[in-house]
Structure 1
Amino acid sequence: MLKRPQRGDPFWIWMLHWWEAFSWAIIGLLALITALSDLPPAPKYGSLALMAGLGACCLLVRTRKGNPTMWGYAYVAVLIAGLGELAYLRSGYGVLYTVMLPQFMIYVNALVPAIVSSGLGAAAITIGGALRVGWNLENLTTNTVSSAAVWAVAVLLSVATPRALALRDERARLRAQLADAQQELAQAHRRSGAAEERERMAREIHDTLAQGFASIVALAGAARTNLREDPERATDQLRSIEQTARENLTEARALVGSAPRSGLAPDPISHTLRRTLRRFTEDTGLVMVAELPDLECDQTGRITLLRCAQESLANIRKHAEATTVGVVLAQRPEAIELEITDDGRGFDTSESIGFGLDGMRRRLAELGGELTITSAPGAGTRILAAIPLRTNTT
């Protein structure tokens, strides 16, 4: 049995069901006219009973559970017999065959059975009409020709319907594939977003909390050494430990979204860098040479330059064995540049891999900037972070 049409089904499927609804409206109107007419009781009540019986059978098939094909064939058999009876009871009822034509396609959902059953319907109304008026050759010929013409239309409907059904099934398959593809794409976007968020969190933790903890560990070891030999120095180091721990706590709260980001207030980038360099000097005792003019830079640029400075200083602390560090902030015609140099042992830039350096490159690349590393064993290191000026000036 042909299912009710769904959104996106071919027009042909909708037409069949609209035609079926129209047929029942015609039968309802015909039943009303028959009931109000002054026909003899036998044809009047007989035709009313047949029309009501056809409606009841159709409703039963529509609501019946089980094998829809079996019930559809049973209903079509009743429909064929009912059409023949109606044609026998009264003149003009043979037109119901034309009105009910779509039901042979809807309830017999296959090409050959639809052609055969609609042909049997044509034969039924021809025989019914002949029995009513008698086996007159002229009338029989006329009824046969008209029934055959309508049956020819039924054949065309029967041939076109499977093609429409195939198109409907293909569209349904494509819609299902599209829905699956959209679901997979949404899942991929969620996975990608989650991966990007994990990477961002890892980068933030590395650039802030991890470096802060590393500073605390270094300061604690130095303070323990100086407790007896240089209590005043140890006191300063403990104060730095406290300050770094406070800043780490603020950063941790910022990372989970419970507080504004620390150290990143809308101050000039030079102010933020001076605080960072001052603490670095206190922690390490290295000579610091800095040129930090006040430059206009938006919040994203300030964060990026600060993180680059923090990562570079952390690498100097851990690896460089330097005595002097230079930091220069400058505004070029097309970029803001932060240059950090040291006179340490240097390294082979072809092996410059690591989460910190990769994080710096990624941060700069997100703003269209770039990171340049110049170094060689025994020759110190130069880190140059550049951000396009057009994306950072306010």
Structure 2
Amino acid sequence: MTQRPQPDDRFRTRTLRRWYAVAWVALGLCPPAVSTLHHGGPTRYWSLALLAVIALCYTAVAALPGNPVLRPHAFLGVLVLGFGALALVRGDGAALLIVSLPQFWFLARSPRYAIALSGAAAAATVAGIVRHQSWRVEEFSTGNIVFAVIGYTASVLLGLGVVRIVEQSDERARRLGSELADAQLRLAEAHRLQGATEERERLAREIHDTLAQGFASIVVLAEAARSGLDTDPARSARQLLSIEHTARENLAEARVLVGSAPRSGVALGSVAATLRRTLDRFAEDTGLTVTAELPDVACDQPTRIALLRCTQESLANVRKHAAASAVEVVLSSSADGVELEITDDGRGFVVEDSHGFGLNGMRNRLAELGGALTVTSSLGDGTRVLAVIPTSSEV
């Protein structure tokens, strides 16, 4: 995967090149142009003409759109010829060559071309200086030649070092990009697995709170109806009717779970009326004494469902485990939320030793609404279940 330059990187590169262009004109072209004014005759005109050609070619490359490979390399060819010609005319040019060496690394298509073309420019400059000074043996000096060679050598070493740093940076960026892509894939997979786990937990809780409780009620009622067929046919008939109602409710809940019925499975209406029907059915099925204080509390549908499920789970636990004779249910509301308290006089249990699915399911259901479940019990003292749900702003 190729790492594309980011917008900030391109902006920094353009800014760097613009500042270099200013420095190149100020320190590379202007000094020889100014010094040329002190020369007379053909030297002045040839020097100014060559400098003007170099400046115009650079302007064409920098300002005019075109082939991104041919134009820069054509300009570098002009630099090679121009430096050689200027050195031949003036007898110097090491300073202009050194200032211009970054051009080859900026514009060449690869480090190999940069080294070759800048070497050609250095060779042309040295050759021009030697040829010019050979005409004036008395003025022969090696200063410009030495500086030209040292500048070229330093530019090669520095350029290769910068290229190496850039390649390492690109490789690191590619590696980090690959690691980031892998991390994103792993994160997406983790989110998918987490979503699947949460959905399984939700379905398990819904099945436990609806279908499982319904089937448990059907089993208990069927056993009671069978045992009373000969002794109390009327009661057995009522129990069979209750079995039919429970089975129909389970069928409706099953349709909700498979998505062929409305999601909630609980009809809209008063939470007090919904709880009253549940308590009446429980009292009829079990024969326990049920007292209830159920004012008409206003709450939204999710809160009604949570309160109903907590009531159903608590009553199921009373039926299966408590061996109680009486159950009391109190529904109340305050400025902070809705409270549901369910108390029985059964055998009780040690709360810390209980790790059943039902209590955890109630806690999780209430936690999704920002509520909390408190269970208080001890052996022989009955059980108190308190569900608290904050009041929603939308009722």
The alignment's TM-score, normalised by the length of structure 2, stands at 0.68
Which letter does structure 2 place at the counterpart of 1:230? D
What is aligned with 1:101?
A: 104
**Please, what is the CA RMSD of the aligned residues?**
4.3
1:54 equivalent in structure 2: none
Number of the residue aligned with 1:121: 120
* Matched residue SS, 2:297: coil
- Output aligned runs, 1:313-332, within 5 Å: 313-332=315-334
Q: In structure 2, what residue type is equivalent to 1:254?
A: V
- 1:1-394 alignment runs, 5 A limit: 6-7=5-6, 10-11=9-10, 87=81, 101-102=104-105, 106-108=109-111, 117=116, 120-122=119-121, 125-126=124-125, 148=149, 151=152, 153=155, 156-261=158-263, 264-388=266-390, 390-391=391-392, 394=395
Q: Is the 8 A contact 2:314 2:342 kept in 1?
A: yes
Q: Is the 8 A contact 1:83 1:125 kept in 2?
A: no
Q: Is the 2:351–2:376 contact (alpha carbons within 8 Å) kept by the matching residues of 1? A: yes
Check the 8 A contact 1:83/1:124 in 2, yes or no: no
> Given residue 251 of structure 1, which amino acid in structure 2 is its aligned partner?
E
- Cα 1:139/1:164, change in 2 over 3 Å: farther
Give me the whole-angstrom Cα distance separating, in 1, the residues matched to 2:259 and 2:77: 76
Instruction: Give the letter aligned to residue 182 of structure 1.
Output: Q
- The offset of 1:134, in angstroms, is 12
Spell out, residue by residue over 1:304-352, the C-alpha distance to the aligned partner (whole angstroms, 9 max, x if none). 1111101000001101111221111112343321111112211122323
Give me the whole-angstrom Cα distance separating, in 2, the residues matched to 1:333 and 1:13: 59
In structure 1, distance between residues paired with 2:5 and 2:216: 65
Give the % identical residues: 51
Contact 1:329 1:337 in 2 (8 A): yes
Which whole-Å deviations, capped at 9, do the CAs of 1:86-125 have from their partners, x for residues lacking one?
Answer: 959x968x9999698238975347xxx975x456433554
Note closer, same or farther for the CA distance 1:226–1:128 as it changes in structure 2 (3 Å cut): farther
Alignment check: 8 A CA contact 1:9 1:168 kept: no
Cα gap change, 1:183/1:4 in structure 2, threshold over 3 Å: closer, same or farther?
A: closer
CA shift, 1:205, in A, is 1.0
After TM superposition, give the deviation of residue 295 of structure 1 in Å. 0.7
Letter in 2 for 1:391: S
Aligned residues: 330
Secondary structure of 1:101 counterpart: helix
Contact kept? 2:341, 2:386, Cα under 8 Å: yes
Normalised TM-score (structure 1):
0.68
Cα distance, 1:357 vs structure 2? 0.6
Instruction: Please report how far the alpha carbon of residue 254 of structure 1 lies from its aligned counterpart in structure 2 after TM superposition.
Output: 1.4
Task: For 2:121 and 2:4, locate their aligned partners in 1 and report how far apart those are by CA, in whole Å.
Answer: 27
SS at match of 2:229: helix
Letter paired with 1:301: T
Judged with a 3 Å threshold, the aligned counterparts in structure 2 of structure 1 residues 206 and 351 are, in CA distance, closer, same or farther, namely same
Change (3 A) 1:367 1:144: same
Aligned amino acid, residue 101 of structure 1: F
Check the 8 A contact 1:341/1:383 in 2, yes or no.
yes
CA distance in 1, matches of 2:386, 2:110: 78
Residues 85 and 128 in structure 2, CA contact (< 8 A), matched pair in contact too: yes
Structure 1, unmatched stretches of 5+, are 20-57, 60-78
**C-alpha deviations, 1:200-224, integer Å up to 9, x for none?**
1111111111101111111222222
Give the aligned residue type for 2:355. Answer: I
| Counterpart AA for 2:105 | P
Q: Which amino acid aligns with 1:240?
A: S
Partner Cα distance (2:141, 2:106) in 1: 25
